[in-house]
């Protein structure tokens, strides 16, 4: 029985590039922290297409006739916190006073909430002493496209968490929604039969991803093309989630990973954009290779995703699993089954990495690029990116004096309020003023070698 995957995991490429394989789940991971206490509705309240990896910004439609929906974060269980957009100064002041009374009790979780409630302020704190971004934004794991956004501008990543209302607005851009539609249509081509399963818990929802993975491994082993292949695992001490657009075997027997990108411009991307794309497929390969080589551990998956191994599946999910020949009735049993499937599969590491660019309006192929995989270099870059998330360094923004970088700011929704850009412009002005004064002083100084008439 085929299962179908909706738009899901992570994705927003800048400069009119849409990373289609992970777009929809990216939409809300900045809007609500994924690791806060669960506010998932009770039994029978969410309806999820089976096997479909729900996007982190996808609305979860309740079952049982309810019309309520949740706009969830990376784990789809926490309501959007950007609630102060219409508050006036007095109302905001009252909220701050009330929150201040709770900070001592709730620690950094309340601080993170306060920042989101105050997201209409013109000034934000880009970093907090003695608190890493992982702690500040309540992240127990990262999506691969967090790194892609980071390679574009780390300051934009921070603003995405601190100003969720602006992030939502950006995700509603036509280029984003069009890319998501193209991506979904392409997925359904490979998996036309769809079934729907009612899920009741976080474990139910995550189980659908693992069931999809269990189904895809033998399909890939038999030489079939698969799309929306989940990848997960630990890299340099951080747990990552991702979804590969496409995996297939070439005529020469090589395993190829292909990532689809749609563009509003009928041209290949600028090198600054392509940098994030190459990083994305490289990290996908690291995760996939570690999975098929037996590196995935049961305890890691349960710990980082905060899942309960003894949680029984809902009746609908149990029925669906049984139709597929899966006897697992708890999440822990399903994880054990997945590990057996991976450990005894004959899948080999990925041989080639490929980027495919298509025009959004016409759907025509713009071009393809082969990505060279240099593991040593990639892991060194990864350590640099993760140093930010661990709080080992300050976030870095765009170099406004570099012509190859400065243009990024023109398409950024946070340009007008960006503290990084403002401070760098001030520095440039001060340095320019100093240089002008120095040059002026030099021009007024007599040339010591000049002949003086007798």
Q: Which of 51-65, 126-140, 141-155, 397-411 has the highest mean pLDDT?
A: 141-155
Q: Please, what is the average pLDDT of the chain?
A: 75
User: What confidence score (pLDDT) does residue 363 get?
Assistant: 84
> Residue 13 gets which letter from DSSP?
-
Question: What pLDDT is recorded for position 411?
Answer: 84
User: What's 26's DSSP letter?
Assistant: G
Q: Which residue has the tokens 């025009």?
A: 359
- How far apart CA 11 and CA 320 sit, in angstroms, is 29
Express as a percent the part of the chain with pLDDT over 90.
45
Contact by Cβ (8 Å): 24, 6: yes
More confident of the two residues 208 and 166: 208
DSSP, collapsed to helix, strand or coil, labels residue 261 as: strand
What's residue 48's pLDDT? 41
Q: For residues 74-82, give the mean pLDDT.
A: 32
Q: Which of 297, 282, 294, 347 is nearest to 151 (CA)?
A: 282
C-alpha of 27 from chain center: 8
Predicted pLDDT of residue 233: 95
Average pLDDT over residues 325-354: 95
- CA nearest 422: which of 185, 123, 164? 123
- List the single range of 113-127, 310-324, 382-396 with lowest mean pLDDT: 113-127
Could you read off the pLDDT of 179-222 as tens digits, one per residue? 566 656 666 666 667 678 888 999 999 999 999 999 999 999 99
Report, as an integer, the average pLDDT of 247-264.
Answer: 94
Q: Give the DSSP letter string of 377-421.
A: HHHHHHHHHHHHHTTSS------TT-TTTGGGGGG-TTTTT-HHH
**Both tokens of residue 349?**
């590491």
d(CA 55, CA 61): 13
pLDDT confidence bin for 74, thresholds 50/70/90: very low
Q: Flag whether pLDDT at 362 surpasses 60.
A: yes
SS3 81: coil
Ramachandran bin of 49, using left for φ above 0, alpha for ψ from -120 to 50, beta for the remaining angles: beta
Query: CA-to-CA distance for 66 and 83, rounded, in angstroms?
Result: 23
The pTM is what?
Answer: 0.71
Question: C-alpha angle with apex 208: 207 to 209, nearest 5 degrees?
Answer: 90
Question: In this predicted structure, what is the pLDDT of residue 127?
Answer: 82
């Amino acid at each position: 029985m085929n299962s179908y995957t909706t738009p899901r995991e992570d994705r927003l490429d800048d400069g009119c590039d849409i990373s289609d394989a992970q777009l929809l789940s990216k939409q809300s991971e900045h809007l609500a922290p994924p690791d806060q206490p669960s506010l998932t509705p009770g039994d029978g309240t969410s309806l999820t297409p089976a096997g479909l990896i729900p996007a982190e910004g996808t609305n979860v439609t309740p079952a049982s006739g309810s019309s309520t929906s949740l706009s969830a974060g990376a784990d789809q269980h926490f309501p959007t916190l950007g609630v102060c957009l219409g508050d006036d100064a007095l109302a905001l002041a009252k909220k701050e006073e009330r929150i201040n009374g709770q900070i001592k009790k709730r620690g950094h979780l309340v601080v993170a909430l306060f920042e989101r409630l105050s997201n209409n302020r013109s000034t934000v704190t880009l970093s907090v002493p003695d608190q890493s971004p992982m702690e500040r934004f309540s992240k127990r794991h990262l999506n691969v496209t967090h790194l892609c956004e980071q390679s574009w501008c780390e300051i934009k990543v921070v603003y995405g968490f601190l100003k969720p209302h602006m992030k939502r607005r950006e995700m509603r851009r036509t280029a984003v929604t069009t890319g998501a539609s193209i991506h979904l249509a392409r997925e359904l081509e490979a998996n036309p039969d769809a079934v729907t399963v009612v899920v009741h818990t976080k474990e139910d929802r995550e189980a659908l991803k693992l069931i999809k993975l269990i189904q895809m491994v033998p399909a890939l082993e038999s030489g079939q093309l698969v799309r929306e292949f989940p990848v997960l695992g630990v890299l340099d001490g951080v747990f990552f989630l991702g979804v590969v657009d496409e995996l297939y075997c070439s005529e020469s027997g090589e395993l190829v990973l292909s990532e689809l990108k749609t563009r509003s411009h009928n041209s290949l991307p600028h090198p600054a954009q392509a940098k994030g794309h190459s990083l994305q497929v490289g990290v996908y390969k690291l995760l996939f290779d570690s999975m098929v080589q037996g590196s995935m551990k049961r305890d890691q998956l349960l710990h980082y995703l905060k899942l309960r191994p003894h949680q029984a599946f809902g009746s609908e999910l149990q029925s669906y699993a049984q139709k597929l020949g899966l006897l697992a009735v708890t999440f822990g049993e399903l994880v054990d089954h997945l590990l057996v499937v991976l450990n005894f599969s004959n899948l080999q590491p990925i041989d080639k990495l490929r980027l495919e660019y298509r025009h959004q309006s016409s759907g025509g192929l713009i071009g393809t690029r082969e990505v060279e995989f240099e593991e040593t270099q990639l892991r060194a870059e990864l350590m640099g990116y993760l140093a930010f998330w661990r709080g080992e360094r300050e976030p870095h923004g765009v170099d406004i004096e570099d012509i190859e970088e400065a243009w990024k700011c023109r398409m950024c929704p946070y340009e007008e309020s960006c503290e990084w850009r403002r401070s760098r412009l001030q520095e440039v002005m001060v340095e320019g003023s100093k240089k002008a004064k120095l040059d002026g002083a030099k021009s007024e100084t007599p040339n010591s070698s000049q002949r003086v008439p007798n």
